[in-house]
Each structure stands twice: as structure tokens, then as C-alpha cells.
Structure 1
Amino acid sequence: MSLTLQILDPRHDPEPSDWERLRTAAGQCVTWRYDLLRAYAWAAQAPVLLAVLREEDAAVGAVSASLRGVRPHRGAYASGRDPAGLVDVHAPGNRSQKGWWFTGDPEPQRQRDLLDGYVRGIRRELGTGWRGVVWREVSPGEPALLPGTVKVRLPTAPLAKLATPWTGVEDWYALLDRARRDSLRRRARNFTADPSLSVEIGPARELVTAAEAAALRAENDLKHRSRLFPLAPLPLPYLEALVGGDEVVAIAYRDRPGRRLLGLSLILDHPAWPVCLSWGALLPEDGGRKHLYFDGYVRMVEWSISSGKAGLVLGKGQAEAKRDLGADLVPSSALAVPL
């Protein structure tokens, strides 16, 4: 069957009629919902193209990429495309996922054929001045699935994943170093008993506003400003759509007298492996509390176990701390492939 690409600019093009069915059937998180793709594309630092892979009009996968053109200061509001540049394949607004996925579980050779069809189609769309593709969040064994003969690999931060197959949080504690276990238990007890602090876990739309989430998210984003092609801060319209939906869980720490938000974790819900999207907290000198970061992991693990999840994708950054908490670190890299 011949492969065709339905190439979409989420800023302007309408949502395909089968997109939501495709997303949910493929088990993709809420960040791939089309209204969120549109909000992300308007805030992105480079134009975003979404390609739906189709065979005989049946959708078999999707690829999202930013167009890193040669002209400077070409943000999402720029009109027209650059004549040359790199195609940067990455998940929209979420470094814990890949920018490509398929329906079902195709064999390795079929995956390579589909991605080869994507590369050929995107090159026809953009022109010969577009000289390469950068594939992000490539796991061990996956370079062979990506088309191209010359591949330049750049190691990136590993992805932390914590399986939670237990019946209670004590099973998790038992795996940890004694000093870590004792400190987590003690702080969790103290925070729970603290009359000046509330700790709430539940649907984000019930616990936090988009403005509150944006403020704490911005604090966390500042830590990653020096990365190559850093993610743009998520805009308020994006967070309004994200937090207001049904697929995001929040862990919110508040000052009980004034209800001031002190710390916030947002989790993209999923039947098996929810993704910890972000953490943000006020600094102690600004009225925040010490040690909320690690207590947040206790609450996440408790929630994951009680919800019957297979595990948690803890994301990138703070790799050693996450390994000390029992997470497996999956090596990751960016792969540059000239065309």
C-alpha cells in the first residue's frame, strides 16, 4: 500500500475528523489532543507541522516536528516558510515522549518503512533546502528503525521510569536506601499533620487554575533555558485547555490559611503509564516549603498504586535523585540524519 502524508499546520488547519479516535486508539496522552496542538503551535519558537501517515486513507501513525529554518527570529507567527533548515521531530510540549507513533505495534521493518515514507514526503513538501532531520528521545535499539545511512548521535538526559506493581507504598519504601526511606516517611507524616499545609490530589480542573499552574511552571522552565532548542514556556491558553480537561491529575500543596499555591505537580493520566509533566514550587525565601519536591514523589507513588497503574514516567532531569527513588533510567539521544 502506498503511503500518503496529510500535512497540517495546527494553527490554521482544521482537525482531521478521525484525529481524536486515532490518538486514543494509539494510547497517546492528552498533549496530542488537537486543540492543545493548536495552542502549542501558536506559542512555539518555530513553525510546527503535524503529519498524519495514511495508507488508503486509513491513518496508521503521526509525526510532529518543528521547522528550524536558517533565518533568525522565525517564530510561529512568521508568515511563509524558510527555504532551508532542519526538521526537528519531537513531541509537542512534552520531553518524555517521542514525536512519532503508530497505530498498533508494527514490526521494526514496517516502522522504518513508514518513517522513510515520512522523510520522503516531508522533503517533497518543504523542498531540497531542508537538509536533515533531527529525531529526539531516541531509545537504545531505535536508531536502526530510523531511515538514513549517516546518523550523528548526541546523548541527552535519560528518561526515568518507575514501575509500581505493589499493593502499598511500604513495598516501594522497602526498596530504598534506609536514610532515604526514613526521610521520606518522616516528611510525609509531618506534612500530613501540619495544620498550616494542605496536600490535595485529584483532577487538575478541581484543584488549580491555569494562571496558578503557569506561574509555577514558569519557575521550572527557567532551569532549562540553556538547552539546545529549549521548549517555549507553555502559554496560558494552553494550560487553560490542559488543566480544564479530564486527563490531567494534580498534586497541589497550599498554605492552608491563605490557600496560596506552594507546589504543584501535573500528571498526564494514562491507563498504564501516566507521565509526570511538570513540577513547580515557590522557593523557601518566597514563602515556600523545603522538601516538597521529594514529598511529591511519595504522593505520586501512592496515587499510582491506588489507581492500579503499571508505573510512572518521571520524565527527564534530576536523574540521580530519581534513580535513588527506584526509577530505571532509560538512555536517550538525539539523532541527526542528513538527507
Structure 2
Amino acid sequence: MSLEFLDPRHDPEPADWEELRLAAGQWVTWRYDLLRAYAWGAQAPVVLAILRRDGKAVGAASASLRTPRLRRGVYTAARGPAGVLDVHAPGNRSQKGWWFRDEPDPGLLRAYARGLRRELGPGWRSMVWREVSADERALLPGPVKVNLPTAPLAKLALPWPGLDDWYARLDPRRRDSLRRRARTFSTELTVRIGPAAELVGAEEAARLRAENDLKHRSRFLPVAPLPLPYLEALIGGGESVALTYRHKRRLLGLSLILDHPAWPICLSWGALPPESGGRKHLYFDGYVRMVEWAIGAGKRGLVLGKGQAEVKSGLGAELVPSSAVAVPL
């Protein structure tokens, strides 16, 4: 077994990366051009690891190197002598930061943790693994684990042939309000859903995303909005879908979806507030449009992401518990 550590900012894409990514069913998030764009704009240095057995790539993991910051908002691209290894999917809270071509291998994860610490030095004394389900905790290395519950992940299965079948499973009051608003917005606004590159530019997407991200930003763990180069690569890469609301060409609302043959991921939502010329309730209408699109495209379901759990549950989504697991090294 061997490990290959990469800095996506500088290291070229490995020759077998694309084959590994697709064989493991890892779509948009793990495209190497997106990893590179994310790493250049990230708050902390990113280390990508490829796990190999007998020379064959069998898995991957990505970790951000979190070091103490003397002042909030001051970030460094250099590796520090000590800190915490934060294993997470770059730019996507709905996926884990580690995966395999085949079945999960605890031995490889133990080797990854040991190898990463050897690579960085003894000052890196703990790891945090994000978006871990209950049955995955035993796979993680280390005899001592601290489980920190996080917001559940909402997944909406769509085993129906049409939108009315989904509507029929909703609370009657919610169903009536969604239908009424959908008719109103279809009349008053230009609503489109399709390939992102055809519907939205990266700069206008960045403006809406930044406003939405900052609105929900944690005071204690600030997360910077996705940088413009990342959105340029995402939108122009051909594997993302956009839902747009416009009034006289002005973008009022935007949802970006990471496409997938079975379970697309709703990556983000952004909208102008009413006081800035936006419309109320676009957020709820967005789910109607995305469900209609997913059913029409033959998807098995939608990953609705994290946050607003009560709203998503009311739309029929399953709330899948997840945790951040801290492991001392």
C-alpha cells in the first residue's frame, strides 16, 4: 500500500485520477480542475491524497490544514508546524472527504492518517472527519473518538412518474401554496432550469452566492464564499445545472445543482432580498422546479443538502443523521 500526497494548486493531475473518480462514482465535486480552483481560494492549505494498493489507485481523501489564526479573516497558504487535519469534501458539505473505488477499507484509512501525520510533522496531533454516518464511525482510525453531531443531510427520493405524484404526498396547505406561487412566478418572472453554462454567468452567480453565504456565516467558524475562479470552473465544466429566476434580465434567484446520473446534489441557493428588488418565497418555489426537473430527467432522487431541515422534511425528504468525528493522533 502506498500514498501519494498532492497540492492541487501546483501538482499536475495524476494520469489515473479521472478513471478513479468515475469508477468510484464521484462526479462534479472531485474534478481536478475544481479541486485546483478550490485550493487556490481556500482559507487553509489543501492536501489531496491518493490511496494505492499494488500501484493501483483505490481511493482518495482531502484534508484542509487548519492552524491557529491570530486574527479572524487572515489566512495563509503556507503549511504551519501544528494544527488540526480537517477531512472534508472541498466546496461541498453534502459529501464526505474520503471515498474508495470499492468497499471502504479501514486499513487504508489508518495508513492515510499515519502517512499524513508523517508528511506534516508531529505538531499535527488530531483529525476531524466530517459528514460521518453512524455506521462509518467504526471505520475511522484511532481508539478514541469524539462524536460531534452536525446538521442532518436531506435526501428526497423520487420514485414517481410525475410532479403531481410528489404534490400528492405533501400537506394540503403546503401543496396549495406551492402550486399557487408556481403559477404566479411563471407569469411574472422568467424561470429556467438547464445547463448552468447556458443560463448564468460566474460573476452574477458569485454575487448571489456571497450574499447568501455571508447571511448564514458562523461567527465562530467563518467560511468564505466560494471564489469566482471556482464558480467559473463549476459553471463552465458541463456537469452542473442552474435554476434561474429573472425579471427583465436581472437575476433574482439562483440554485446550482451538481448533476449525477442518479442523485444530483443541490449545492447552493442564493436570492436577492425583497428590499433589494427580490421576491418572497422563491426559495420554496425552487424545490418545485428542481423536483420537476429531476423527475423529468429520470433521477432517483435529489440530495437537498444541509440546513432548513424542518422545511425539507415537510417536502418529503429523509433526514440522514451525520457527525463530525474528532480523532486524536
TM-score over 0.5 (shorter chain): yes
Which whole-Å CA distance do the structure 2 matches of 1:16 and 1:312 have between them? Answer: 31
Change over 3 Å in CA distance of 1:19–1:233 after alignment to 2 = same
Where does residue 280 of structure 2 map in the other structure?
Answer: 290
Structure 1 gaps of 5+ residues are none
Confirm or deny: 8 A CA contact 1:90 1:135 kept in the other structure. yes
Q: Alpha-carbon deviation of 1:224? A: 3.1
Report Cα offsets for 1:281-308 as digits up to 9, x if no partner. 0011101111110000000000110011
Once the two structures are superposed, residues 30-86 of structure 1 have per-residue CA deviations (whole angstroms, 9 ceiling, x without a partner) of 12111111111111111100000011210000000001124546977533x211111
Q: Does 2:308 correspond to 1:327?
A: no
- Counterpart contact for 1:69–1:82, Cα < 8 Å: yes
Q: 1:199 matched to which residue of 2?
A: 191
| Amino acid in the other structure paired with 2:213 | D
Matches within 5 A, 1:37-52: 37-52=35-50
Rounded Cα–Cα distance in structure 1 between residues aligned with 2:172 and 2:27: 35
Over 3 Å counting, the alpha-carbon distance change for 1:141 and 1:301 in structure 2 is same
Deviation at 1:212, TM superposition (A): 0.8
Secondary structure of the structure 2 residue equivalent to 1:38 = helix
Q: How does 1:254-269 map to 2 (within 5 A)?
A: 254-255=246-247, 258-269=248-259
- Aligned residue pairs, count: 328
Deviations 1:221-242 (CA, angstroms, capped at 9, x unpaired)? 1133216544321111111111
| Equivalence for 2:120 | 126
Among candidates 131, 144, 163, match of residue 157 of structure 2: 163
> Which of the numbers 163, 167, 172 marks the counterpart of 2:166?
172
Give the alignment's Cα RMSD to 1 decimal: 1.4
Give TM-score scaled by structure 2 length.
0.96
Match of 1:247 in 2: 239
* Alignment partner of 1:154 out of 125, 148, 155: 148
Contact 1:151–1:335 (CA<8 Å) still a contact in 2?
yes
Distance in 1, Cα, partners of 2:23 & 2:165: 33
d(CA) in 2 for partners of 1:208, 1:254 = 10
> 5+ unaligned residues in a row in structure 2: which ranges?
none
Instruction: State the identity as a percent.
Output: 74
Please tell me whether the aligned partners of residues 69 and 75 of structure 2 are also in contact (alpha carbons under 8 angstroms): no
What letter matches 1:169 in structure 2? L
**Aligned counterparts of 1:167 and 1:281: Cα–Cα separation in 2:** 30
The DSSP-based 3-state class of the residue aligned with 1:212 is helix
SS state of the match for residue 142, structure 1?
helix
Describe the shift of the 1:216–1:71 C-alpha distance in structure 2 as closer, same or farther (beyond 3 A). Answer: closer
Provide the rounded CA distance (Å) in 2 between the counterparts of 1:15 and 1:55.
19
Equivalent residue, structure 2, for 1:96: 94
| Aligned AA (2:133) | S
**Matched position secondary structure for 1:186:** helix
In structure 2, what is the Cα distance between the partners aligned to 1:25 and 1:142? 21
